[in-house]
């Protein structure tokens, strides 16, 4: 098929490669413009742009699509069979949605209609869901409201992190979109019941509230690593928390370090052991290594 691909982050790269490997003619790749990154703030292309250029596929990265008449006319003139969208980051105007013969298909990292929106992977873990998955959807003008063409679940376990789930769903989505293009399954409307929305994350979402039960904090750490990252403070210094483990219940004031190995009291008399922690300017390290350089004594209150 003659297609356009639209995506930006690492999540979209496996699908781009799978479509190319399946023999489809990828006329153009749309992605977000290069952004400043690193200490020098040099412009860095998106992972999708990097891969597209490696594959020799032309890349476009308009700042906007709404009211971009020249861009819409160019897109319509490409005589596309379909456009594949995966975490692109821009809303497609109706004229663009309607231009390809088979419209635009989205690879969405949830079991729709649950977790429509910007952060479905993190939201599923935060909510304590026991499964996530990928839905291939026919795009319309709504926010992830289009008819479903395929949906495949994957389990969320007590050790699932945003990173592991992201990678599993990215690989699954790549396989599924190739199958959907080959099989052309009939569309099925999304059910009206069970709709939830995953809002865009901010850095503040990572702040740990130690009055929450240990189970919820554990989910927060697993859901928000690597970005925006779960964190607490100590004497005004931000400490990122990379991994925790739930311990047996015992009483203690929320946020209080209970011993010299970073076991911390949480809400409802629940307890967490911090396993990985990071101070500013350093890499993530295990708690034992961290404490050799910065001991934290029992009775210390985190979140201060």
Cis peptide before 201 (omega within 30 of 0): no
Tell me the two tokens of residue 226: 């690597």
Give the whole-angstrom CA distance, residue 116 versus residue 134.
Answer: 12
Q: In this structure, what are the phi and psi dihedrals at residue 244, rounded to the nearest 5 degrees?
A: -140, 170
Residues annotated as binding site for (6S)-5,6,7,8-tetrahydrofolate?
A: 110-113
What is residue 143's DSSP assignment? S
Single out the residue of 167, 280, 266, 170 nearest to residue 221, CA to CA.
266
Q: Cα angle vertex 200, ends 195, 203, to 5°?
A: 140
Q: Are 96 and 75 in contact (CB under 8 A)?
A: yes
Residues annotated as binding site?
A: 110-113
List C-alpha distances in Å: 284 to 183, 196, 204, 258, 263.
45, 33, 19, 22, 18
Q: Cα angle vertex 108, ends 62, 119, to 5°?
A: 80
List C-alpha distances in Å: 253 to 18, 160, 265, 270, 301.
52, 28, 6, 10, 9
Query: 203 in helix, strand or coil?
Result: helix
Q: Cα angle vertex 260, ends 297, 264, to 5°?
A: 90
Residue-wise burial string across 50-63, b where 16 or more C-beta atoms lie within 10 A, e elsewhere: ebbeeeebebbbee
Q: Cα angle vertex 242, ends 261, 174, to 5°?
A: 150
């Amino acid at each position: 098929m003659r297609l356009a691909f639209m995506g930006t982050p690492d999540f979209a790269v496996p699908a781009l490669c799978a479509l190319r490997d399946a023999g489809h003619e990828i006329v153009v790749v749309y992605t977000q413009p290069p952004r400043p990154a690193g200490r020098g703030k040099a412009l860095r292309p998106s992972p999708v742009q990097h891969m597209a250029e490696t594959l020799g596929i032309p890349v476009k990265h308009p700042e906007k699509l709404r009211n971009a008449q020249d861009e819409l006319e160019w897109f319509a003139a490409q005589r596309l069979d379909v456009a594949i969208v995966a975490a692109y980051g821009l809303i497609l105007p109706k004229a663009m949605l309607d231009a390809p013969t088979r419209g635009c298909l989205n690879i969405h990292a949830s079991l729709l209609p649950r977790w429509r929106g910007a952060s479905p992977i993190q939201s599923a873990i935060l909510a304590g869901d026991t499964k996530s998955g990928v839905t291939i959807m026919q795009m319309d003008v709504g926010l992830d409201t289009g008819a479903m063409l395929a949906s495949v679940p994957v389990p969320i376990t007590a050790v699932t992190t945003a990173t592991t789930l992201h990678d599993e769903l990215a690989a699954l989505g790549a396989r599924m979109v190739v199958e959907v293009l080959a099989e052309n399954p009939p569309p099925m409307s999304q059910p009206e019941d069970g709709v939830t929305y995953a809002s865009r994350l901010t850095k503040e979402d990572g702040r740990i509230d130690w009055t929450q039960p240990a189970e919820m904090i554990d989910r927060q750490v697993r859901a928000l690593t690597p970005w925006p990252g779960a964190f607490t403070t100590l004497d005004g210094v931000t400490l990122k928390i990379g991994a925790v483990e739930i311990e047996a219940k015992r009483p203690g004031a929320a946020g209080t370090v209970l011993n010299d190995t970073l076991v911390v009291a949480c809400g409802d008399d629940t307890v967490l052991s911090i396993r990985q922690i990071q101070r500013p300017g350093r890499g993530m390290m295990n708690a034992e290594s961290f404490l050799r350089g910065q001991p934290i004594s029992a009775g210390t209150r985190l979140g201060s």
